[in-house]
Structure 1
Amino acid sequence: MAAMGTLSYNGRKMFLVFMCVLSAVNCDDKVPLVVWASDGYALSPVNAPSSGHTVSVDELGSYLSRALSTSPHNLLLFLQDKLSVEDFTMYGGVFGNKQDSVFRNLEGALRSSSSSLWLPSVSSTAAASVSTLLQNQIETAPLYMNPDTLAQLRLNASVAALLVFRLPYSGGADVMMSAKEILSGNDEVIGQVIGIMKTQSVPYTAVFTALQPSRVVDEESLAVRSVGSRSLLQSRRGEPSAAYPPVEFKEKGSSCILLWAEKLVVSQYRSEKWERDDLASKTFGEGVMPNLNGSSCNETHSRLVLNYEDVLGFPTFRLIFIMNQRHYKVSARRWFTMERVQLEYDGKKASFNGSRHIYAPGEYSYHCASVSSSNSPQLFPHSAKDNANEWQISFHDLQIQGFNVTGKDFSYASDCAAFFTPGIWMGLVTSLLMMLVLTYGLHMIMQLRTMDRFDDPKGPAISVPQTD
């Protein structure tokens, strides 16, 4: 341990990587990290990483170095044993004002702070080295403390200090404590520490993270309702279903149609080539307000109209989804179908029929990784009289719900993937071949017979008469 204390920062980082390899630990586990400054102080502006990017050790060091360059150098590190983003979404208000949130003190400190840094995905290797990174930032050894010890300590605002508070994620001897109760207790510790710092009028910069993820699983998301088709991709209540919210159409103040897709590509054949335009950026995203004029919905019919400008050179362009809901006596339930996907441009129409492939139970949403009118088409020209043959439409990761919408979240999704996927077929064929080989081998073994006549070695020898 003494040798570890003398290692340089680079040496410690290499040691952590080496230990991850030796112990076969998954070093790609991700934990959240949040930094904020006390009231009246601000962190230096830092460009947050792109969505889904996992912050490495070097990147975390760079973020902390820039953020802490102008903030107080009395550092508070709240290091929890385990923590995941799911803890905030399940038990907290995601930094908002929620009455039953277990992170009331943490969220209150973030709201009162003029600036904060939120990193939702930090590698556990980087989080484990955060104490070393902060130590190198202010060149001061860490002090491991608890609120009672801090209350007896008199801090000096002009002298840098690194105070580390370890927060457990297990109940210890009290194994009956739930994760929610433990998180609430840890939040009370954070509140006590912040209260002591305010009492002593000492400005501070606080960091809250963990050593490894807690891997909290939402029990509601594991509940599967049997409806005769596979149910996937339902959104957790209170969490966004994607990087940007779905398009939502409301009728009389109530949501009745939801649409989300990664790509909405329309293509027209011109001058012996296909010209394409992806409408996703004009439909989804922060600050994007699609024009839904012409949309309507009721118990049996839904019509979602997306109005665009300047698409493939057309000043006005409309993408229309027409859905119907009917009750089928055979299944004794309601099903909704995508009757048509229609393009309107320059006074012309191009309609595609999707009722044969795009359908789902009435209370469910429909999801498909790819919906296209070309390769393995689910959409076919509705009529030979319109211009559908010169158009192609393709939707990637499409999810749509036209009936029985409650709130801003999709219901359970009926996925378009067939039950017998290529992997399943490969497994079935391989198993069949192995069974045939085994059956043939058993048949050959059963055909073996023992000899019913044997030579007697003790009998008279055969004599061959000799003649002169």
Structure 2
Amino acid sequence: MAQCSAKSSFILCFCLFWSSGASETHVPLLVWSSHSLPPVSPPAEGHITSHGELGLFLSAALSSGSHTVLLFLQERLSQDDFTLYGGVYGNKEDSAFKNLEAALQSHSTVFPAVECSRSSSVPVILEQELGVEPLLLTPDALENLKLDATVSNLLLISLPYCHQNQLCREELRRNDEVIGRVLKTLEAKNVPYTAIFTGLQPSRMISESSFSAPVGRSLLQSPAPPPSVRAPIMFSSSVNPCIMMWAQNINVSFTETGEDWTDLSTQTPNVTGSLCNGSNSILVLNYNAGITLSFFMSQRFFPVSARRWFNLDSVQLRQNAVSASFSSRSIYAPAEYSYHCQMVNSFRDALLINENTNASWRLNFIDFQIQGFGLANTTDFSYASDCAGFFTAGIWMGLITSLLMLLIFVYGLQMILQLNTMDRFDDPKGPCISVPQTD
């Protein structure tokens, strides 16, 4: 027991040492219990809970009787840990906090930000409330420990934090397994408990390259997940990707009236038949009902601009054994760029011209983007060359109106400058100027 007391004193000193930073630093604190907890109003956005406020809550939670308190103290912890490695925005099966998320389903309270200071710390507050020293334990030692539920117990489990960003998810997952193992041990011993999970200091988070979800609150305050966005259609030759295409809506019609539009964006196409090389690329999208879309692209060097450009030469629509070909108009971009246009269709301000084969067939792409050469990575398009010109209709209207007003101003100024004064004036001392009147 003397050895445990020495370890406990070391942990307290270590905690006070790490808490010696500026008062602005804060860490999240999560509390859950096998029984009820006192109600707490949700903190205002940006509010940092002081140790005095935390002490009042713990005093109300531990006011009567004896209590067994578990304190999971991680070296570093921030809200970003739950956002990056939790299961709210991404796949829940890949969450690093499965046991913690399950424990917070009932009888739990979350403090998103608790201040860190030299004067006090969570172990010190708990020691004052319970009147016992913390006992540093490992999960193996807890299984062999005999707990007396008639007296208060403060059990401290120290958890490490990753030192390399690539290993954070695995390290946090191992810590979560430790938490789950400890909780199962207490449940097997039929010991009621109150558990607290917090950190000694904030962690400095660096986003993983694989993290693509928007940054926000996750485990601490669970918002509604954002709407899912479809991944681009991609074709890879050997190992490297060479063609990428995305559209919010892909609609085809096989009648002239266009009343029977078929939305292909809800289907996942097969890209069998696609190919790419240094000068030509063909993206073939095979859908259900025998519908196939083929995009033919090429690139070549233009001496005038001293750079290579790629062009979408044509789009072929095939249904079963019948096909229609659409040549493109002004669908081009630098070879290392992607091409983007909000509307690409064959019937209104058409950028796709039907070559008189099955003239009633129509194509319509909404928020269309394609790249057939020079892909920089496997997840994103390169810089987009947009089809929208700089001088839009609104800009032309503004320029013409300003020019008309300028012309009116110049004309009025010229008229004012051409005004002349009279060369003769009426002399009051001389004879009056008479103007003869004639009938």
Give the match's secondary structure for 1:448.
coil
Match of 2:98 in 1: 113
Equivalent-residue separation in structure 2 for 1:139 and 1:111 (angstroms): 19
AA partner of residue 150 (structure 1): V
Match of 1:365 in 2: 338
Does residue 344 (structure 1) correspond to residue 318 (structure 2)? The answer is yes
Is the 8 Å Cα contact of residues 74 and 203 (structure 1) preserved in structure 2? no
Does residue 246 (structure 1) correspond to residue 249 (structure 2)? The answer is no
Is the 8 Å Cα contact of residues 36 and 115 (structure 1) preserved in structure 2? no
Pairwise CA distance, 1:363: 0.3
AA partner of residue 399 (structure 2): L
Equivalent-residue separation in structure 1 for 2:194 and 2:418 (angstroms): 92
Pairwise CA distance, 1:108: 5.8
Match of 2:124 in 1: 152
Equivalent-residue separation in structure 2 for 1:404 and 1:343 (angstroms): 26
| 1:37-76 to 2 correspondences below 5 Å | none
Does residue 295 (structure 1) correspond to residue 281 (structure 2)? The answer is no
Instruction: Show CA shifts across 1:407-432 (max 9, x none).
Output: 22100000000221011011101101
Give the match's secondary structure for 2:305.
coil
C-alpha distance 454-140 of structure 1, shift in aligned 2 (>3 A):
same
TM-score, normalised to structure 2, is: 0.55
| 1:448-463 to 2 correspondences below 5 Å | 448-460=419-431
Give the match's secondary structure for 1:274.
coil
Equivalent-residue separation in structure 2 for 1:152 and 1:265 (angstroms): 65
Match of 1:390 in 2: 360
Is the 8 Å Cα contact of residues 359 and 366 (structure 1) preserved in structure 2? yes
AA partner of residue 438 (structure 1): F
Give the match's secondary structure for 1:153.
helix
C-alpha distance 80-421 of structure 1, shift in aligned 2 (>3 A):
same
Match of 1:438 in 2: 409
Match of 1:54 in 2: none
Equivalent-residue separation in structure 2 for 1:363 and 1:259 (angstroms): 15
Taking only the aligned residue pairs, the percentage that are identical comes to: 39
Give the match's secondary structure for 1:292.
coil
Pairwise CA distance, 1:146: 2.9
Q: 2:284 aligns with which of 287, 291, 305?
A: 305
Match of 2:4 in 1: none
User: RMSD of aligned C-alpha atoms?
Assistant: 4.7
Equivalent-residue separation in structure 2 for 1:36 and 1:71 (angstroms): 17
Give the match's secondary structure for 1:390.
coil
Does residue 399 (structure 1) correspond to residue 369 (structure 2)? The answer is yes
Give the match's secondary structure for 1:440.
helix
C-alpha distance 243-273 of structure 1, shift in aligned 2 (>3 A):
closer
Match of 2:253 in 1: 267
Does residue 331 (structure 1) correspond to residue 305 (structure 2)? The answer is yes
C-alpha distance 143-442 of structure 1, shift in aligned 2 (>3 A):
closer
C-alpha distance 394-142 of structure 1, shift in aligned 2 (>3 A):
closer
Is the 8 Å Cα contact of residues 261 and 396 (structure 1) preserved in structure 2? yes
Pairwise CA distance, 1:433: 1.2
Pairwise CA distance, 1:348: 1.6
Unpaired runs of at least 5, structure 1: 1-34, 42-69, 83-100, 118-136, 157-183, 207-235, 284-289, 311-315, 464-468
Match of 2:400 in 1: 429
C-alpha distance 36-250 of structure 1, shift in aligned 2 (>3 A):
farther
Is the 8 Å Cα contact of residues 36 and 116 (structure 1) preserved in structure 2? no
Is the 8 Å Cα contact of residues 364 and 411 (structure 1) preserved in structure 2? yes
Instruction: Show CA shifts across 1:198-243 (max 9, x none).
Output: 799743599xxxxxxxxxxxxxxxxxxxxxxxxxxxxx99748982
Is the 8 Å Cα contact of residues 372 and 392 (structure 1) preserved in structure 2? yes
Match of 1:447 in 2: 418
Instruction: Show CA shifts across 1:237-287 (max 9, x none).
Output: 9748982211111100111011111100001117x763210101113xxxx
Structure label with greater radius of gyration: 2
Match of 1:276 in 2: 261
Give the match's secondary structure for 1:404.
coil
Give the match's secondary structure for 1:261.
strand
Equivalent-residue separation in structure 1 for 2:273 and 2:386 (angstroms): 28
Match of 1:466 in 2: none
| 1:62-101 to 2 correspondences below 5 Å | 81=46
Equivalent-residue separation in structure 2 for 1:248 and 1:456 (angstroms): 96
Is the 8 Å Cα contact of residues 71 and 205 (structure 1) preserved in structure 2? no
C-alpha distance 266-37 of structure 1, shift in aligned 2 (>3 A):
farther
Is the 8 Å Cα contact of residues 37 and 114 (structure 1) preserved in structure 2? no
Instruction: Show CA shifts across 1:342-395 (max 9, x none).
Output: 0122212100001x311001000000000000001000023x3x32x0200000
AA partner of residue 368 (structure 2): L
Does residue 203 (structure 1) correspond to residue 177 (structure 2)? The answer is no
Is the 8 Å Cα contact of residues 76 and 204 (structure 1) preserved in structure 2? no
Match of 2:155 in 1: none
C-alpha distance 380-253 of structure 1, shift in aligned 2 (>3 A):
same
Match of 1:320 in 2: 294
Does residue 256 (structure 1) correspond to residue 261 (structure 2)? The answer is no
Give the match's secondary structure for 1:430.
helix
AA partner of residue 282 (structure 1): Q
Equivalent-residue separation in structure 1 for 2:382 and 2:113 (angstroms): 47
Is the 8 Å Cα contact of residues 372 and 393 (structure 1) preserved in structure 2? yes
| 1:220-235 to 2 correspondences below 5 Å | none
Unpaired runs of at least 5, structure 2: 1-27, 48-77, 87-94, 131-164, 184-192, 199-208, 215-227, 435-439
